[in-house]
Amino acid sequence: MAFCSFSKEYDENAYTLVENKFISKYLPSADGFAVKVYLYGLYLCKNSSEDYSLAAMAEVLSTSEEAVKQAFKFWEDYDLVQVLCNDPFAVSYLPVSASVGTPKRIRYEKYTDFNKELQRKMQKVGKFISYNASLKYMQFLEENDIQPQAFLLIAEYCIAKQGEKVSASYIFNKAKKYIKLGWTTYLQVERELNNCNANEKEVLALFNALNLTGNPDENDYSLYQKWLDSGFDSKAILTAAKRMKKGGITALALSIEELIEKGKFNATDVENYLTEREELTALTFRIGKKLGAKIGNPSAFTDEYTEKWREYGFEDESLLDIATYCLKTERSDFSSMNEILSQLFSQGIVSLDSVKDYLKSKNDCLKLFAKLREVCAITSKNAVGITMVETWRGWSFTDEMILEAGKRATGTANPIPYMNKILSDWKREGINRIESIPAPTISAKTSNANAAIIENINAKTDRERYYAIRREKAQSVADKFIEKANSNAEFKKISQSLSKMEISLAKAEVFTPEKLPALQEEKAGLIRARKAILTALGIEEWQLLPQYSCKQCSDTGFLPNGTVCKCYAPSEK
């Protein structure tokens, strides 16, 4: 492609070599060098070969290639030419009649002092502003409502930041941001730049704490100043940034808003609050794990539940124990757990001991309900059935009496309501001892049916007892090896450290993933040390675990798929 050529439209319209409109509209207000470049390029469109280059044109005009480029870009702003390619540089001339660019007459004398001062500032870093470049600066001031002295302050700031790499586009972009923010006077720009310079060291430290690349901009400095004006000191803001696990300035701003709401303004208060918040979040995850509940955003659960439970006075151990109880009773969500804790709080059951007593009573009911399910074939394990057991106990019936009622309900379609009828009759009749219970009156047909059911129950009981004995035997052997190993103080200490390590690993996985490799390496070291002690004691690692007789069902009587194992041998009972 030739360096200069006519566009298709220009050629078809058969214009004269220089259009009159160019001479009347654009030439009077344009720089003489720019006109010279335009006219010579026009000449080349008709009279040069494809080999004619930008360098050749610059040589003829006794100027630089960059100056020629700037002149053509000047005319491009007025839609008189189109720069087709920068490397190699190529220009297409457009018809003047189709141009929409409007030349502005600039009063050069108006900007004499401005140009001198801008030139002086640029020369400090070895930059020289050409006439064409100065036109761009003056054009910017003409088109934007900003004081020249305010623009010079911005230029000086940019020069200090960029040094010899500073460019007009960088200065223009910076000035446009200030104009957009409404900072157009000398005093406004000076105030904002002073804020930037005053807080530069602190904001850079903030970026480093957040692992952010790049340089802060005016918005970052303004936001930082806003936090200072809100009452924060610089140490408090930096402390909040260092505690951030992920996210940038936006995430930090949200954290600062939360701290303002909580009235935490100094570094100590911020550190204590965020530490407590981190502990609460970790506790939320642990409670969720106990409940078997999935937690997407822990903040919502922490705000609505965990923080309130702590304020009620419940200890972490109590909350985890209650979560386990909720899972057992099929109430495995935070809302259901909150109902239980609210009831306990209203009853004054808050301390660790009182919660343990409460849970002991509840767990005893669970055990009794489990026995009832075996005795009278209750198929469902639900909160209603467990509540009924609690009610019957509240009627002062012993576990033996409740189990007797369960036996009498065997074979009925709905054992729980039938048991409730039996027990309510006993309560009404004042029967409160098992010796006072009258013998059941049943028909021969019912008796035969019950006998078959009882036989099945007894067979099931024998089977469970058989496997329980085998499991107990295996566990007893393992317990002896564990006792021997724990007699070594170092082994016991390492075992405790490994137990705590699991909690540390879980917390690190959520909050500080960068610490995981070190913790995993520490864990591996503890495992090696533990194994060495076991070897010295003549104990194998597998001996610390129960070695069940049947490897397929682990002495439970049931395979993983739920089918009955074939290992049952009643003769061994």
Task: Give the pLDDT confidence score for residue 15 in this predicted structure.
Answer: 47
* Choice between 447 and 381, residue whose per-residue pLDDT is larger: 381
State the pLDDT at residue 456. Answer: 63
Cβ neighbours of residue 529 under 8 Å, at least 6 residues apart? 490, 494
Q: Angle 267-291/234-242 helices, nearest 10 degrees?
A: 20
**Which burial class, exposed, middle or buried, applies to 298 when counting CB atoms under 10 A from its CB (0-12, 13-18, 19+)?**
middle
Percentage, residues of the chain above pLDDT 90: 12
Q: What is the pLDDT of residues 544-556, one digit of tens each?
A: 888 988 888 888 8
Using pLDDT thresholds of 50, 70 and 90, give the confidence band for residue 89: confident
Is residue 292 domain-shared with residue 391, that is, in the same domain?
A: yes
Count of structural domains within the chain: 5
Residue 387 lies in a domain: yes
**CATH code of 69's domain:** 1.10.10
Note whether 42 and 74 are same-domain residues: yes
pLDDT tens-place string over residues 116-164: 999 999 999 898 888 778 888 888 888 888 999 999 999 998 888 788 8
Rounded to the nearest 10°, the torsion over CA 168, 25, 34, 138 is -30
Q: Is residue 450 part of a domain?
A: no
Q: Are residues 122 and 10 in the same domain?
A: no
pLDDT of amino acid 155: 92
Distance (Å, whole) CA 130 – CA 70: 10
Is 398 inside any structural domain? yes
Dump pLDDT digits (tens) for 332-374: 889 889 998 999 998 999 999 999 988 888 888 888 888 888 8
Which residues have a Cβ under 8 Å from the Cβ of 388 and sit 6 or more positions away? 416, 419, 420
Same domain flag for 409 and 344 = yes
**pLDDT value, residue 18:** 86
Are residue 206 and residue 255 in the same domain, yes or no?
yes
Q: Which of 175-179, 213-217, 270-274, 431-435 has the lowest mean pLDDT?
A: 213-217
Q: Report the pLDDT value the prediction gives residue 11, as an integer from 0 to 100.
A: 53
Q: Could you tell me the residue range of the domain that residue 315 belongs to?
A: 279-440
Stretch 55-83: mean pLDDT: 87
Residue 406 lies in a domain: yes
Residue 12: pLDDT band (50, 70, 90) is very low
Tell me, what's the pLDDT at 16?
Answer: 42
Last residue of a domain, one of 440, 460, 482: 440
User: Tokens 């140490």 correspond to what residue?
Assistant: 235
Statement to judge: residues 76 and 161 lie in one domain:
no
The bridge status of strand 81-86 relative to strand 89-93 is antiparallel
Which of 389, 424, 440 represents a domain boundary (last residue)?
A: 440
* pLDDT tens column, 398-429: 888 888 888 888 877 778 888 888 888 888 88
pLDDT of residue 13: 45
Residues paired with residue 83 on neighbouring β-strands, in sequence order? 91
The total number of residues shown for the chain amounts to 573
pLDDT at 230: 83
pLDDT band of residue 9 (cuts 50, 70, 90) is low
User: Domain check: are 333 and 413 in the same one?
Assistant: yes
Q: Is residue 151 part of a domain?
A: yes
Residue 453 confidence (pLDDT): 56
Domain shared by 350 and 489, yes or no: no
346 in any annotated domain = yes
Look at 178 and 101; give whichever has higher pLDDT: 178
Residue with tokens 């502990």: 279
Q: What is the mean pLDDT of residues 368-382?
A: 74
Residue 163: the pLDDT is 85
Note whether residue 564 is domain-resident: no
Q: Mean pLDDT throughout 267-291?
A: 87
User: Does residue 419 share a domain with residue 289?
Assistant: yes
Sorting pLDDT into bands at 50, 70 and 90, what band is 392?
confident
Q: What is the pLDDT of residue 410?
A: 81
pTM over 0.95: no
- Using a 10 angstrom Cβ sphere, with 0-12 exposed, 13-18 middle and 19 or more buried, the burial of residue 192 is buried
Nearest partner of 36 among 71, 88, 86, 65, judged by Cα: 71
Q: Which residue has the tokens 């993933």?
A: 513
Between vectors from CA 417 to CA 416 and to CA 423, what angle results, nearest 5°? 90
Q: What is the pLDDT of residue 314?
A: 92
User: Which pLDDT value is given to residue 151?
Assistant: 94
**What's the Cα-to-Cα distance from 341 to each of 337, 362, 472, rounded to whole Å?**
6, 14, 36
Q: Are residues 436 and 322 in the same domain?
A: yes
Q: Are residues 190 and 207 in the same domain?
A: no
Q: Provide the 8-state DSSP code for 433.
A: S
Q: Write the DSSP string, 104-125.
A: ----GGGGHHHHHHHHHHHHTT
Same domain, residue pair 429 and 303: yes
Q: Are strands 4-6 and 89-93 parallel, antiparallel or unpaired?
A: parallel
Average pLDDT over residues 433-456: 64
Sheet holding 81-86, edge to edge: 4-6, 89-93, 81-86
- Domain assignment present for 271: no
Mean pLDDT, the chain, whole residue set: 82
Domain boundary among 177, 197, 217: 197
